[in-house]
Amino acid sequence: MKSASPIIILIAACLIPVASRSEKKCPVNTEAIPLCTAIADASQYDGKDITVGGIYYKVIHGSILTSSGCPKTKVNMRLAQDWKGDKQAIRTRNSLTSKNQGTDVVLRGTFRVARQGCFGQTCSLYEIEEHELLCAARRESRDDREQVPQTR
């Protein structure tokens, strides 16, 4: 009986959930601007590389970026040819978005404004060509983990 105790303790320790790095909040990035700021002054950011924070969702034929500060605006996302990402951030984003959850992200990309027509399946007026995924984390509150926003 004495030899079974360490095994039971070991099994119990393995079953206790531990907060992983993927569940931690993205660190504050002083370079990152809120998505709503870029949208509010779109002409200033058009064609420029920016570091931006927002809520990332997968949609049927791609992905979008939104923000709780301007939730009705959807920014089409597209991967650049030179795309790269932090390995942990990629795992986190893929894991959470596969469950239709919004994921907090900080990324670097080229912001564009539609001149004629629109971008992607949501017919967005804005697009970010993502060059680098810097961070991805689980949304903080339960209310923020809503389903993918409706597309048109």
In tens, the pLDDT along 94-141 reads 888 877 778 999 999 999 999 999 999 889 999 999 999 999 998 875
Which of the given ranges, 1-5, 21-25, 96-100, 138-142, has the highest pLDDT on average?
96-100
Q: What pLDDT is attached to residue 29?
A: 62
Task: Please check whether residue 99 lies inside any domain of the structure.
Answer: yes
Residue 50 corresponds to which amino acid?
I
Asked if residue 5 is part of any domain, the answer here is no
In a domain, 4, yes or no: no
What pLDDT does residue 15 have? 40
| 14 domain-assigned | no
Q: What share of the chain is helix, strand, coil (3-state, %, to 5)?
A: 25, 35, 40
Question: In this predicted model, which residue has the larger pLDDT, 9 or 68?
Answer: 68
Average pLDDT, the chain: 80
Residue 78 domain-assigned (yes or no): yes
> What is the extent of the structural domain holding 58?
21-144
Could you give the CA distance from residue 113 to residue 15 in angstroms, rounded to a whole number?
A: 49
Is 14 a residue whose pLDDT tops 90? no
Give the domain CATH number at 77. Answer: 2.40.50.140
**Dihedral, CA of residue 136, residue 87, residue 147 and residue 68, to nearest 10:** 20
Residue 35 within a domain: yes
Predicted local confidence at residue 52, as pLDDT:
96
pLDDT for residue 48 is more than 70: yes
Q: Count of domains in the chain?
A: 1
